Structure 1
Amino acid sequence: MKKCPFAVLVTLLFVVMVSVTFAAEPIRIGWVGPLSAPGAYAGGQEMKWAAELAADEINSAGGVLGRPIEVVYEDTRGMPEQGTAAMERLVTGKKVVAVFGEFHSSVGLAEIEVAHKYGIPFIASEVWADDITARQYPEVFRVAPANSMIYDIVAAWVVAAGFKNVAIMQETTDWGVGAVKVLTQKFDQHGVKYSVTTVELTQQDFTAQILRFMNQKPRPDLFMNMLAGEGSYRITRQSCELGFAPTPQTALYSGGSPSLYPEFWENVGECGVYLMAELVGLPKQIWNEKTRAFIAAFKKRFDRTPSAVGMESYDSLYLIVEAIRQAGSTDPKAMIKTLETLRWTGTRGEYWFSTKREPAWAYHQFLDAPVVVIQYDRVNQGTDDAKILWPKRWATTKELYLKVKKK
């Protein structure tokens, strides 16, 4: 018996509708980072905004492999246990094909264990501890520079600037301890004296530690505030109000990027003038078309200037999508293999990931990640307008740092 033409037509239409539905099913990608206390939520929020912007651009351009992408966001609160739980939810519950993000190294180190357990690609956007890539997990790639890259440059600047006696306040995290280890090893090589005190990320009052530094003989000529969380703002303000730094006698440095956001100025005001910090983005004079386009789009949508932290998150999502496109698949092994040979230009230059295993942290590391030392010379100054002190090839001033003028 022959089938009714109408029944055949209905069947064909159903098959077509199902095929279209399956083809349009989104590819899920996970994002992790701090969006609430005790984490550095100002940095996490900027990273999330940048990821949202990238996702909308990608979907407006047609997605990848004929499918839209869907980014699933998880707040890790700057806590390793929250990072582990978030990764488990993303991988086993949401079925994401890859994960990117994170701001805190201690949390990132917990997250990569889950990525390694399930074989899921993980792009570390803004975590600096050497161990992130030094564990040499095949699933883990990093677009941010490693501690050894950043603080080798910062230490070289400290030596060149002529500082002789450095006071360091470090947080008890993998980033803080690791960063200070790199710095002090370099200081030992060049005869720079230093004293280190350790504080908790959640600490509120730093008066006692600051006063001890002030009473040292000789008085430190550089105070390095190595906290990546909101406590960094309190240290800057309290150091200023106590008359320690920045002053004509003692310069002030802030590590870990909390001084790069508008919230920095909202919290410290005039105490932020003359502060120095590292910036892991391209200097303004060598911005490319993607850098300028991203900054313009971010300003238009969020009414604020993004920092390099936002750029790292934005580029991370594009790198995952480009890996999917070139691999022609969301298979994790295919994506990992593609990432190892991929070259793609983003807001921070041309990305590529090293496969060399010495030093250990170089594995799957973006070795051309830019790092500069900047200094503010007025209130509410943006990072794109701050003085670049180091390295010399990108410096915008002949001085190695601007000294506080005596009143």
Structure 2
Amino acid sequence: MSTPQSPPGAKRAEGSSVRIGALVPLTRPGWVEAGRHLLAGLELAVGEVNDAGGIGGRPLELVVRDTAADPERAAAAVDELARLGVAALAGEYHSVVARAAAARADALGLPFLCSSAVIDALTGQPTDWVARLAPAQSHGWQIYADFLLGAGHNRIAVAAQPSVYWASGTRILRDYLAPLGGTVIELDMSALTPTDLCDELVDHRATALLLLVGHPEPAVPIVKSVRSDQRLAEIMIGAPAGQPEFAEWATSLGDDGAAIPFLRYLPQRLSPLGARVEKALRAGLGEAPSFVAFEGYDTVAVLADVLRSSGADRMGIAEAWARVAVEGTRGQIQFSRTPGISVWQWAWTPVQVVDRDPAEPDRFRILHAG
């Protein structure tokens, strides 16, 4: 591992707090609700660490920066946090933003535990500075593809916006489904209106439509248009990236937002730790916590364990990824080198395919698990 020199200002006074930089989308066009849940999990865990005595008697401090789903803003935040002397970075939800943050963290020699971003190529080359809790996109989306085939769908349309993340998802689905008899039909939402999309779905005889687009625009108008088109009454709408997970989805779409399967990274039954954290998160958020909130909590749980055993030295933190063995809210967390993944990876977080129950949209149904 190369050891970049610490940037100016990266000093910590004895007895001062141990600082973790948190990258979170808190304003548009970032997915604000995801950011709010991620931050709630991070903050809950920091509070519990400090209630238990902190890190060797020093308080753990979260230094939060809003990425607003902007890769350049995230890279600038990494530079700033490095100058402020944080021991490590945590967080981020958007894959394209996390890639920018991971590249900058790698260049600076700043440990980064990515909470939520799933894109396989989180860094352009193998690195020891970055680890990840969320499952790689190829792992989760192949489980989703198995669900589609099991449900009888082999003509699958993807309504996608231009993005490295969406393009990666389309490629994963196409490569996995083609040998199994599945066809993936790519529809470019930068060139189609929701009404145009409905016509394309009819022409291509698609049985399933996957939303590889942002929320609320254009996901919400697409769903409304498809749901109101009688020609498409039998088509299944899916959202592997998890748009229906959050309450904002149900508020925006009402009954139209139900029965849209998505990926969620939770076990079928929470452990006692998970149940306790779920209760605390629910109280803090005023609503049911998403899997993203659990990802935030687990991120700090891992970093606190590493900081206690290795100290706040950045090199020591990065070298500790291989030794992590932490009880998280969703299982025992350990990192390994996974083929095709350039960072230290938890392989694997529990994966579910779930949807909102049409009879009770606030309740989730588990349709498939991998």
Task: Tell me if both proteins adopt one fold, taking TM over 0.5 as the criterion.
Answer: yes
CA RMSD of aligned residues (A): 2.1
How many Å separate the matches in 1 of 2:354 and 2:303? 30
Aligned to 1:41: 32
C-alpha displacement of 1:228: 4.7
CA distance in structure 2 between the partners assigned to 1:375 and 1:265 by the alignment:
11
Picking from 227, 233, 249, the partner of 1:264 is: 249
Q: Deviations over 1:349-400 (max 9, x none)?
A: 11011135xx221741110211111122236634xx42211138xxxxxxxx
Q: 1:163 to 1:346 in 2, by over 3 A?
A: same
2 CA distance for matches of 1:160 and 1:177? 24
1:342 paired residue number: 324
Gaps of 5+ in 2: 1-11
**Of the two, which has the highest radius of gyration?**
1
The equivalences for 1:338-377 within 5 A come to: 338-356=320-338, 359-361=339-341, 363-377=343-357
Output aligned runs, 1:4-403, within 5 Å.
Answer: 23-92=14-83, 94-132=84-122, 135-199=125-189, 206-217=193-204, 219-231=205-217, 232-243=219-230, 247=233, 249-283=234-268, 286-327=269-310, 329-356=311-338, 359-361=339-341, 363-378=343-358, 381-382=361-362, 385-391=363-369
- CA separation in 2, counterparts of 1:244 and 1:386? 27
Q: Which has the higher strand share?
A: 2
Q: Does the CA contact (< 8 Å) of 1:64 and 1:325 recur in 2?
A: yes
Deviation at residue 167 of structure 1 after TM alignment: 1.1
Q: Deviations over 1:220-260 (max 9, x none)?
A: 11111122543233332332234466x3x201101212210
Q: 1:211: Cα distance to partner?
A: 2.4
Distance 2:63 2:230 in 1: 46
Q: Distance in 2 between matches of 1:85 and 1:133?
A: 17
Question: How far apart, in 2, do the equivalents of 1:33 and 1:144 lie?
Answer: 15
Q: 1:102, 1:262 → 2: CA distance?
A: 20
Distance 2:199 2:78 in 1: 42
* Kept in 1: contact 2:87–2:312 (CA 8 A): yes
Structure 2 CA distance for partners of 1:228 and 1:290, relative to 1, 3 Å: farther
CA contact (8 A) 1:228 1:256 kept: no
What residue identity is the alignment partner of 1:334?
Answer: G
**Structure 2 letter corresponding to 1:253:** G
CA contact (8 A) 1:227 1:255 kept: no
> How does the TM-score come out when normalised to structure 2?
0.91
Kindly state the Cα deviation for residue 215 of structure 1 after the two structures are TM-superposed. Answer: 3.0
What secondary structure does 1:294 align onto? helix
Runs of 4+ in 1 over 6 A off after TM superposition: none
Q: How many residues are matched? A: 358
CA distance in 2, matches of 1:362, 1:370: 21
Q: What secondary structure does 1:43 align onto?
A: helix
Which amino acid in 2 is paired with 1:215? V
With over 3 angstroms needed to count, the CA separation of the structure-2 counterparts of 1:244 and 1:121, relative to structure 1, is farther
Kept after mapping to 1: 8 A contact 2:157/2:186: yes
Query: Within 2, Cα distance between the matches of 1:208 and 1:102?
Result: 34
Higher helix proportion (structure 1 or 2): 1
3-state SS of paired residue (1:131) = coil
For residue 171 of structure 1, report the CA deviation from its aligned partner. Answer: 2.8
Task: Describe the shift of the 1:360–1:315 C-alpha distance in structure 2 as closer, same or farther (beyond 3 A).
Answer: same
Contact 1:135 1:360 in 2 (8 A): no
The one-letter code sitting in structure 1 at the alignment partner of 2:357 is D
Amino acid at match of 1:108: A
What is the distance in 2 between the residues matched to 1:228 and 1:62? 41
Counterpart AA for 2:211: N
1:279 Cα deviation from its structure 2 partner: 0.8
- Does the CA contact (< 8 Å) of 2:125 and 2:342 recur in 1? no
Tell me which residue corresponds to 1:7: none
